Amino acid sequence: MQPIFDASRHRISRVLCFAAHPDDIDFGAAGTVAQFTGAGVQVDYCIMTDGDAGGFDDAQRSSMVQLRRTEQRAAAAQVGVRDIHYLGELDGFLAPSNDLIKRVVEVIRRVRPDVVLSMHPERNWDRIQKSHPDHLACGETVTRAVYPAAENPYAFPELEAASLASHKVSWLWLYAGPTHLENHYVDITDTVEDKLRALHFHTSQHPDADRMDVMVRQLLRDNASRGGLPPGTSAEAFHVVPVNSDQTISGF
């Protein structure tokens, strides 16, 4: 059976990654991002909330937003990402409102990616921590923005009037979703250490780095096993959806 996404056929030059909080992308896709950037692909991040409800130290409340932005910039740089768009929503209160969808459409039209990579809109009952309500809201917002709003010149006409022309995204890659929907596994064996170094920058959220490393390594090996990759490899798992590709036609 032909894979849903074949890197030898489906060339990409620009990727836009969405997350609800700082550190979400690093858990879900940093190894894949490192491979993209290493191959010369331009990757942008868009972080929807400020992560202000994160952390464990009361003394850090007033500085948490700035701290998490600093951590995310360092983590992004570790995997070759320089451009980060912040939407500044409140941590814990994210919802797929029309206003937020419009703001996501605006980012998509500015960046004009081939691939949009986002958290999944469906809950994972096997590992509920993947399905923080903000994660689900991120996924739903991005999915609605990708199709049809970003590619419809008559959706949010004020954006079109501001020279932000409609844009057709070729692929939507979703992470942190139900395992039974996964259909694409990226072998990140060569970029596991980059992923872990990126995660280590988020010290305000993960004080037990050694335990985190053990868990993340095991999850990556489990992903590879589910994806049928050779023993000893590590993988990140995605639900890849063709939006405008050789597998789709306009409007269907």
Write out pLDDT tens, residues 152-191: 999 999 999 999 999 999 999 999 999 999 999 999 999 9
Closest by Cα among 83, 97, 91, 93 to 140 = 97
- Does 252 score more than 50 pLDDT? yes
What is the predicted pLDDT for the residue at 1? 47
Element at 7 (helix H, strand E) = none
Closest by Cα among 98, 119, 95 to 46 = 119
Tell me the domain boundaries of the chain.
Answer: 14-242
One-letter amino acid at 199 equals L
Q: In this structure, are strands 184-187 and 171-175 parallel, antiparallel, or unpaired?
A: unpaired
Q: Is the dihedral of CA 54, 60, 64, 68 positive or negative?
A: negative
What's the whole-number mean pLDDT along residues 113-131? Answer: 94
Angstrom CA distances, 90 to 64, 87, 145, 229, stand at: 12, 9, 20, 39
Which three-class secondary structure state does DSSP give residue 5? coil
Query: In 10 A of CB 165, how many CB atoms?
Result: 10
- Does 84 score more than 60 pLDDT? yes
Q: For 14-242, which CATH superfamily applies?
A: LmbE-like (3.40.50.10320)
**DSSP characters over 50-86:** --TT--S-GGGGGGHHHHHHHHHHHHHHHTT--EEEE
HSE, CB side, 13 Å, CA atoms: give it for residue 62. Answer: 1
Give the mean pLDDT of the chain: 92
Beta-carbon contacts of 241 under 8 Å, excluding residues fewer than 6 positions away, are 171, 172, 173, 174
